[in-house]
Structure 1
Amino acid sequence: MKAHGKLLGKPLGKALGKPLGTQNRTLWFWVFVGPFFLGLVLFTYVPLAWSVYLSFFDAHNTVSPTDFVGLDNYASMLRNEAFTDSLVTFAVFSAFIVPTTFVLSLALALMVNRVRRAQAFFRSVFFLPAACSYVVAALIWKLSIFNGVRFGLANTVLGWFGAEQIAWLSTTQPPWYWLVIATVRLWLQAGFYMILFLAGLQRISPTLYEAAAVDGARPGWQVLRHITLPQLRATSVAVTLLLVINAFQAFDEFYALLSDSQGYPPYARPPLVYLYYTALGQEQNLGFGSAGAVILALIIAVVTVGQARWFGLGGKED
């Protein structure tokens, strides 16, 4: 009997009760995944759990409170006009940025998908802004394009046509600051969602378009409406959900564009900006701010699940 390879007529791995190499694969799995999993737990799940814990306490200037207040922080937050106004700000922001980004990214994907030469180049060019920091992009918009003085690019262009200069970020009637916020967000994220749509377009079978041409379908809107958009349904739902979630989480561009040495103005405060000043501002009310964060997280979850159910995401047809 051979000492290696078999034991009592059976393969050595089976005789030991498990295939050879299983322990090594498990070990290497944790070697690669372990550090990332540990970081996820320490820097994501633990802070989230501690935030929920703080929301039930009167936590002024401390992260280890002892004065339990139950649901008082939640009740006070829901009655707070500043918090409800921040939700209105989000509604206005998302009502514009979600459909606009959706249409722009889909249009870019359709154009890039039709390109036969240098497609990778155009795909990279449109995606490149997604790698830029929101803070850096906001500062470029604030200091170089919409800085409100005659040396800014926007006011320079207006000067060519004899128009007056505009203080873009401090004019509230009309609210020109929305133009600055919306354009920087569009520039930053349209390329990312273009890649998602482009991936969906490349999964559509060319035979569908060939069959449509045989049936007499006209290229353009008719093909887009009856073939392309239905085939992009799953991608469109995913893009819409991501856009709404990202709109809820808007913070960097608002804070970098509108804040100055005197603080943040009373207008255009999305929920995260308001919670930032509540928890980390002069009041240092961590319990109150944590309650608002939990409420915001629940709103995001309800909206996301509601949209997914409304669009039928995860159904049998998907």
Structure 2
Amino acid sequence: MSRRNAFWFWVFVGPFALGLALFTYVPLLWSVALSFFDAHNTVTPTHFVGLHNYTAMLRDDAFLDSLRTFLVFTAFIVPATYVFSLSLALMVNRLRRARAFFRSVFFLPAACSYVVAALVWKMSLFNGVRFGLANTVLGWFGGDPVAWLSTTDPPWYWLVIVTVRLWLQAGFYMILFLAGLQRIDPVLYEAAAVDGARPGWTVLRHITLPQLRATSVAVVLLLVINAFQAFDEFYNLLSDARGYPPYARPPLVYLYYTALGQGQNLGLGSAGAVILALVIAVVTVGQARWLRLGRTDTDG
């Protein structure tokens, strides 16, 4: 690279690299450092406590319960999003007209803010015990109104949380599946038809899904990682003037109240963030190995 090219390279890349370092890497490293100190109400602590924050966090029932909340959320949202987005992709891919229109319509929710969507779900669709679209529909069939976000037996709040996340992200993963579907050679379907394979589940099972294996692995990995990072919909749906209820607290909501709540224990919160990052890394690597990410059928 010539000196002139190097100069213009840093002119264009330098500001972004500097911003990435200042607003991403420096805070990450400082958070790791804070996790080894007693950092109450300060970001410049002096009392080194070693691994005390980590052991305290791993013994905290509330933090462990937040991880269980994540597991429940993942068990709902990952298969639901996978099936729904794949179904949308299959339908859109079969269209002969207005394919671009429906692709844009289904993708449009991905551009919506999670906060805005959560407030729409909370105030319009599942609002209270007298109002909202859901209770209105129940009333048409003679059903009693339901306090969707405060009923814990049965836990109807999961329906609200899962549906808003499903609406927000299904279009994005539909685009990924569409890209995978368009890479499948049509000759495979023609050969299957010649062999007598019926269109539908047989073709989907033996041709479409195997050809979408790489896309499916990427989608599942992204879904699990995004589920770990759930915050906006939980916080905006369940919190009110009285605070956040004791149920359905994902890890980021719990860490938010730990680090920025009344106690402002930044050291303990940082330790929890590091543990969460390690859990995400372990789960991601484990999934990648289990799903054989990056391997081909000829690999041993």
Q: TM-score range by the shorter chain?
A: over 0.9
Specify the code of the residue in structure 1 equivalent to 2:248. A
1:291 and 1:134 map into 2 onto residues whose CA distance is 27
**Alignment deviations for residues 159-207 of structure 1 (CA, whole Å, 9 cap, x no partner):** 1111111111111111111110010000000000000000000011111
The residue that corresponds to 1:225 in the other structure is 205
Residue of structure 1 equivalent to 2:15: 35
Q: Which residue of 2 aligns with 1:124?
A: 104
Larger Rg: 1
2:43 aligns with 63
TM-score normalised according to structure 1 size: 0.92
Structure 2: distance between partners of 1:130 and 1:143: 20
Matched AA of 2:215: T
Q: Gaps spanning 5+ residues in structure 1: where?
A: 1-17
Distance in 2 (alpha carbons) for counterparts of 1:198 and 1:316: 21
Q: Which moved more, 1:204-213 or 1:104-113?
A: 204-213
Report how far residue 239 of structure 1 moved: 0.2
**Residues 147-226 of structure 1: pairs in structure 2 closer than 5 A:** 147-226=127-206
- The Cα of 1:143 is off from its aligned counterpart by 0.6
Percent of aligned pairs with the same amino acid:
83
1:271 aligns with 2:248: no
Alpha-carbon distance in structure 1 between the residues aligned to 2:10 and 2:207: 45
Distance 2:289 2:177 in 1: 21
| Among candidates 16, 19, 25, match of residue 45 of structure 1 | 25
Question: What corresponds to 2:289 in structure 1?
Answer: 309
Per-residue CA deviation, residues 239-271 of structure 1 (Å, 9 max, x unaligned), is: 000000000010000000000111100000000
The letter for the 1-side match of 2:294 is G
Q: Secondary structure at the match of 1:64?
A: coil
Equivalent position to 2:120, from 128, 132, 140? 140
- Alignment correspondent of 1:256: 236
Q: CA deviation at 1:316?
A: 4.5
Q: Establish whether residue 294 from structure 1 lines up as the match of residue 274 from structure 2.
A: yes
Distance in 2 separating the partners of 1:225 and 1:23 = 56
Counterpart of 1:114 in structure 2: which amino acid? R
Aligned-residue offset at 1:63: 0.3
- Rounded to whole Å, the distance in 1 between the matches of 2:193 and 2:64 is 52
Which residue matches 1:14? Answer: none
SS in 1 for 2:37: coil
1:24 Cα deviation from its structure 2 partner: 3.0
Runs of 4+ in 1 over 3 A off after TM superposition: none
The letter of the residue matching 2:23 is F
- One-letter amino acid matched to 1:266: P
Distance 1:159 1:49 in 2: 54
| 250-259 or 25-34: bigger deviation | 25-34
Q: Which moved more, 1:209-218 or 1:245-254?
A: 209-218
Give 1:33 deviation, angstroms: 1.9
Unaligned residue ranges in structure 2 (runs of 5+): none
Counterparts of 1:206 and 1:34, CA distance in 2: 45
Give the secondary-structure state (helix, strand or coil) at the position aligned to 2:246. coil
Distance in 2, Cα, partners of 1:315 & 1:37: 33
Q: Matched residue pairs, number?
A: 298
TM-score (norm 2): 0.97
Aligned match of 1:8? none
Cα RMSD, aligned residues only:
1.1
Distance 1:27 1:222 in 2: 58
Q: What SS does the corresponding residue of 2:41 show, helix, strand or coil?
A: coil
* Aligned mates of 1:153, 1:25 — CA distance in 2: 59
Letter in 2 for 1:119: R
Task: Supply the distance in 1 between the matched residues of 2:132 and 2:40 (Cα, whole angstroms).
Answer: 43
